[in-house]
Amino acid sequence: MRFVFVDEVYGSKELNFFGVGVLVVDATKYNPLFEAFYKTLKKHSWPVEKEIKGKYIFSRDPAKTGKTPEQMIVLTRDLTSSLLSAKSSRAELFFIFNKKGYSIENYLALLAVAFTKIQKPTNQKNGKHLASCFLDDFNDLHAHHALVSEKLREAAGKRRYCLVDGTFSIVKSSNHSPGVIYADLLAYLARWVAENPEVEPSTLFDLIVPDTGAVNAQKVLVARSLLFNRIKGYIIEI
């Protein structure tokens, strides 16, 4: 079985920029990821009741995080490190975006593309062909529940997956939903990379702290490092 966690992001520079982060985790690899999430929060003294968000990574507002940007980057680095096992990645990220702005139709179009990238199941034994989707809550999901379910079933079926119960779960984002939190963090990082393609990745380094002036190039390099050194990720514009 595959668990599929989805979170959406909007642009910071380009108003019509819209993307979805789709985190795909094999069910056999989910439990270590789940446990590592809470261990990491405890290690960094982050309260479980306080939701951690991608927008906090570069925040210089201690009222929001209680931490310096340097500490937030280290926390994010440790969280994303949980996505790696000793030998391989525990998850895959598909960040699909365009500059058509948000609409429920565009949201579904981006999700459909993400599904085309998921590896097909090898067979139907032990539920390997099953997929369970968890989507971050927003109003249009409720208003278009039947349409979203239909499109997800179609997209999953094209990759030979059967969507559990033929529908999806709407998840209220919180630290009690680590999969969606991971999708949020990774989508935020991927957005920095996608919005700033001119920043060369050849000077990639593991950790750099942005100056007070918050130079975008530095943040992009941090985002690249946290994203691609920790997870098998794909950024695709359509």
DSSP the chain: -EEEEEEEEE-SS-TT-EEEEEEEEEGGGHHHHHHHHHHHHHHTT--TTS---GGGTT---HHHHSS-HHHHHHHHHHHHHTTB-SSSBSEEEEEEEESS---HHHHHHHHHHHHHHSPPPS-SGGGTTEEEEEEE--HHHHHTHHHHHHHHHHHHHHTT-EEGGGS-EEE--STT-HHHHHHHHHHHHHHHHHH-TTS-GGG--S--PPPTT--HHHHHHHHHHHHHTTSEEEEEE-
What is the span of the domain harbouring residue 14? 2-237
Residue 125 confidence class, pLDDT cut points 50, 70, 90? very high
pLDDT given at position 212: 47
215 has a pLDDT exceeding 60:
no
Q: What's residue 109's pLDDT? A: 97
Predicted confidence (pLDDT) at residue 24 exceeds the cutoff of 90: yes
Number of domains in the chain: 1
pLDDT at 209 over 60: no
The CATH number given to whatever domain includes residue 176 is: 3.30.420
Q: Are 78 and 218 in contact (CB under 8 A)?
A: no
Strand partners, 235: 95
pLDDT tens for 53-109 read: 999 998 878 778 899 888 999 999 999 888 865 566 788 899 999 999 999 999 999
